[in-house]
Amino acid sequence: MPALDQDRAAGDRTHPGREHGERGDGTPVDRAEPRGREPRRRPRPLRALVLDTDGVLLDSAGLHAKAWKTALDACLEAVAGGEQPPFDADAEYRRFVDGRPRYDGAAAFLAARGLGLPAGTPRDPPGCATVWAVAACKEQAFLDLLRTEGVPAFDDAGTALAALRTAGVPCAAVSASRHARALIRAAGLSGLLTVVVDGEDAARLGLAGKPDPALFLRAALLLGSRPQETAVAEDALAGVEAARRGGFGLVAGVDRTPVRRAAAPLREQGADLVVPDLTTLVRSVWGERG
């Protein structure tokens, strides 16, 4: 979920509307790919799909953004004395914290604002004295919101996962959040996923967070699929970068924003195609089976 904490910087370039077609070998292509970047060829059919959890399967990104705003605005007030503008829960959320582990997101934002807090330790209580304390403050705010608002699955998630299961395409959910398994189970998606790799696994195995591809590579390994035979669905820039670095066969950006404002940044980060939902992804990549 956007317990998944994950993020990006919007570019200035705009792109024409997407129009899907096929390459000469029959593989789908996003006709709105940036000029100057040669589309990557990939095996067809792709054997498996790895999906980010927050913002792709679960409608949790908004909850994460609100929690980050609570924590970071409090930090800006305490450390900068109100002399800096508040945290932008849209642009700065996507650029610095979306898709990243909490500590990494807090550190990236504070560094961008020129606030050099000491690292502290993972045992630091919520507060503003250390980076770990800010991360703990975000976690506390998120849990408070979770209790009052909950996190639903996107309407298309179950339908798309069921279609892929029928087509024999195994799926994995990946999240940096330690809450991911419980949230996926509560959303009724557990039975449609072959594998879940979450923050508990990352801590136990020492897996680095995005933009490192370690979580995605672990998921592909558990699915029994090589990265080049596996697609990744991501809504975060850090996640798209991780999938590209991991050598995955298809990197699909999922832009669920109302006016598709994330599409251009996702393409610029390296997404092979950008889709508005998972149903479109399944139909574009796996054809009539989706």
Q: Which residues are catalytic?
A: 52, 54
Residue 249 near residue 42, CB atoms below 8 Å: yes
As a whole number of angstroms, the distance between CA 86 and CA 74 comes to 9
What DSSP string describes the chain? --SS-B-----S---PPP-EEE-TTS-EEETTPPTTSPPPP--SS--EEEEESBTTTBS-HHHHHHHHHHHHHHHHHHHHTT-SPPP-TTHHIIIIIBBS-HHHHHHHHHHHTT-------TTPPSSSSSHHHHHHHHHHHHHHHHHHH--PBPHHHHHHHHHHHHTT--EEEE-S-TTHHHHHHHTT-GGG-SEEE-HHHHHHHTPPPTTSSHHHHHHHHHHT--GGGEEEEESSHHHHHHHHHTT-SEEEEE--STT-TTHHHHHHHT-SEEESSHHHHHHHHHGGG-
State both tokens at 121. Answer: 């330790």
